[in-house]
Structure 1
Amino acid sequence: MEAPSIVWALDGTVAVVRLNRPDRLNALTAEMLDLWRATLGEAVAAGARAVLVTGEGRAFCAGADLAATAAAMAQRDLSDSLRDHYNPLTRAYAELPVPVVTAINGAAAGAGAAFALAGDIVVAARSSYLLLAFANIGLVPDAGATWLIGKAAGRAKLLEMALLGERLSAEDALAAGLVTRVVDDAALFDTALGLARKLAAMPTVAMGLIRKQVAVALTGSLDELLEVEADHQALAASTQDFREGVAAFLQKRAPVFTGH
């Protein structure tokens, strides 16, 4: 029986999610995208307080499986594939109530670059790279890549990546503000897992609210953001974790957050 294209397991309260088509450099199919999205929901339902996403083998994700995409295009409009499979995964990332860490091993190309950058904390192996390869085959960026890169790195870097279709090294991605950290290849997984464990031990409700608040900050007005901050602060202040945080501060001890 063929191995599933997405595999995952709990490491304490961290869900470690692996793209699992290493023979195809984890290239994306519709079924894989749907399974990825379902896995994120399943992981949270199972009690994950943070998610770590990485790729099996030599690459994070080479983008769409062109053989599968070509076959699909013979049957339907390519926009249907985006609306039915890619975009729902992008939205699932945005709507998760827990933080996501990405560990980029090797290539993150096309939509694979978008999903790599959809993480909240992005750790890149020194040998890894980002590549918006769409223009090289006559397509345009998708899966939210234009938004993610434009918001993080600005117009000039976005146009350079999208129009020229050249590799962006991990170090250059760090300089552009696209990734959080660059580490030696051998240290990638342990570094990313350590960060995910730290996030999982933090006040989970506040983590989820911060994710949503940042999205508003990137798209809304100051007045809209101020209202969201006020609403979110009320929600955060009603949690057990807030009470524990205050008690730990007053008692001069480390807090023990439960995610509630």
Structure 2
Amino acid sequence: MTSLDGLSHVRLDGGVLRIAIATADNGTSLDSTGVNQGTTALRALAAGEIAAGAVLLVGDGGNFCAGGNVRAFAGADDRAAYVLGVANELHEFVRALAAATVPVVAAVHGWAAGAGMSLVCAADVAIGGASTKMRPAYPGIGFTPDGGMSWTLPRIVGARKAREIILTDAILDAEEAVRLGVLTRIVGDDDVQAEAMTLAQSLASGPTSSYAGIKSLLARSEESSLSDQLDAEAASISAAAGGPTGREGVDAFVGKRKPDFSSAR
């Protein structure tokens, strides 16, 4: 196994790969160190060099992520080249998140703006607080989206609503974000990270191969016909039934006991 020593923004906690994508040090704007270390850790996870059953995205500071560091954009000698580099780093992280076969949970406290909102949309589950707010933020500085927002948001809220949200630079409060499906749950403001970690740890102890199959099916569903998706589901559920995780789940159900999926990995 590869150690995560030296990765200041990444740690393993109870089977959960915790990645801080923003810190108080830079006003909770997107932290390039966290993004790059997160990409490194996710690639190590995919390669089997580290073991984790879930990924947790957090912001260490007053917000989940307040967006890109606009002051850094302004100070760059070549703004176009600088922003391209930031976007490319973020996009490698988003690609690594999308490739993760384990569940990805976002703990969304405070603001999730710009790239922060994009990363909320990239998660499988997003838990917010009563005061959580989201905003595309790109039109406000004359930019266009990055971090996959132009791809993920229409798939969450629908194409027309996504156009309205991004073009008008709409601010979504927590209740509206849950109604639209951008957030999946609201808890108390002080409980966001604890609740998200509890969920991530619960998922990490669950049927990992089942989650991988579920994520694979969901990922291909957008491009598949119903008939093709039915064939994929049949193949996937058959493989699950014959595998150790599916065997343990069925045997536990019949035996009226709680399944121990850790023993089936």
TM-score, length of structure 1 as denominator length: 0.89
Counterpart in 2 of 1:239?
Answer: 243
Find the residue that maps to 1:219 and give its secondary structure: coil
With 125-134 and 232-241 compared, the bigger mean Cα shift is at 232-241
Change (3 A) 1:172 1:164: same
Q: Please list every run of 5 or more consecutive structure 1 residues that lacks an aligned counterpart in the other structure.
A: none
Letter aligned with residue 98 of structure 1:
V
In the alignment, structure 1 residue 25 sits paired with structure 2 residue 27: yes
Equivalent residue for 1:162? 166
- The Cα of 1:20 is off from its aligned counterpart by 4.5
1:183 equivalent to 2:187? Answer yes
Kindly state the Cα deviation for residue 224 of structure 1 after the two structures are TM-superposed: 3.1
CA distance in 2, matches of 1:98, 1:8: 16
Give, as a single letter, the amino acid of the residue that structure 1 aligns with 2:207: P
Q: Distance in 1 between matches of 2:7 and 2:260?
A: 36
95, 103, 116: which one aligns with 2:120: 116
- For residue 76 of structure 1, give the secondary structure of its aligned residue in structure 2: helix
2: CA distance between counterparts of 1:77 and 1:10?
A: 31
Trace 1:3-14 onto structure 2 (pairs within 5 A).
Answer: 7-14=9-16
Q: Aligned with 1:252: secondary structure? A: coil
- Could you list the runs of 5+ residues in structure 2 that have no partner in the other structure? 1-5
CA distance in 1, matches of 2:62, 2:175: 19
The structural deviation recorded for 1:251 is 0.5
Give, in whole Å, the separation in 2 of the partners of 1:237 and 1:253.
Answer: 18
Indicate which of 45, 70, 76 corresponds to 2:81: 76
- 212-221 or 98-107: which moved more? 212-221
Taking the TM superposition and a 5 Å limit, the aligned residue runs for 1:119-134 are 119-134=123-138
Q: Is the 8 A contact 2:20 2:34 kept in 1?
A: no
CA RMSD of aligned residues (A): 2.2
Residue 109 of structure 2 corresponds to which residue in structure 1? 105
1:199-210 counterparts in 2 under 5 A? 199-210=203-214
1:63–1:109: 8 Å Cα contact kept in structure 2?
A: yes
Aligned equivalents of 2:78, 2:124: Cα separation in 1 = 32
Asked whether the 8 Å contact 1:6–1:19 carries over to 2, the reply is no
Q: Please state whether the residue corresponding to 2:9 is helix, strand or coil.
A: strand
Aligned to 2:225: 221
The answer to whether the Cα contact below 8 Å between 1:16 and 1:53 also exists between their aligned partners in 2 is yes
> Contact conserved, 1:110 with 1:133, CA < 8 A, in 2?
yes
Count the aligned residue pairs: 256
The answer to which of 185-194 and 38-47 deviates more is 38-47
Which residue is 2:98 aligned to? 94
Distance (whole Å) between structure 2 residues aligned to residue 74 and residue 148 of structure 1 = 26
Deviation at residue 8 of structure 1 after TM alignment: 2.5
1:192 paired residue number: 196
Q: Distance in 2 between matches of 1:104 and 1:133?
A: 16
Q: SS where residue 140 of structure 1 aligns?
A: coil
Identify the residue that residue 40 of structure 2 maps to in structure 1: 38
Q: Report how far residue 220 of structure 1 moved.
A: 2.7
> In the alignment, is the contact (CA less than 8 A) between 1:157 and 1:176 conserved in 2?
no
CA distance in 1, matches of 2:77, 2:40: 22
Secondary structure of the residue that 1:237 maps to in structure 2? helix
**Which residue matches 1:140?**
144
> What is the aligned counterpart of 1:152 among 139, 151, 156?
156
Change (3 A) 1:52 1:72: farther
Other structure's SS at 2:128 match: strand
Amino acid at match of 2:21: L
Which residue, out of 57, 60, 66, partners 1:56?
60
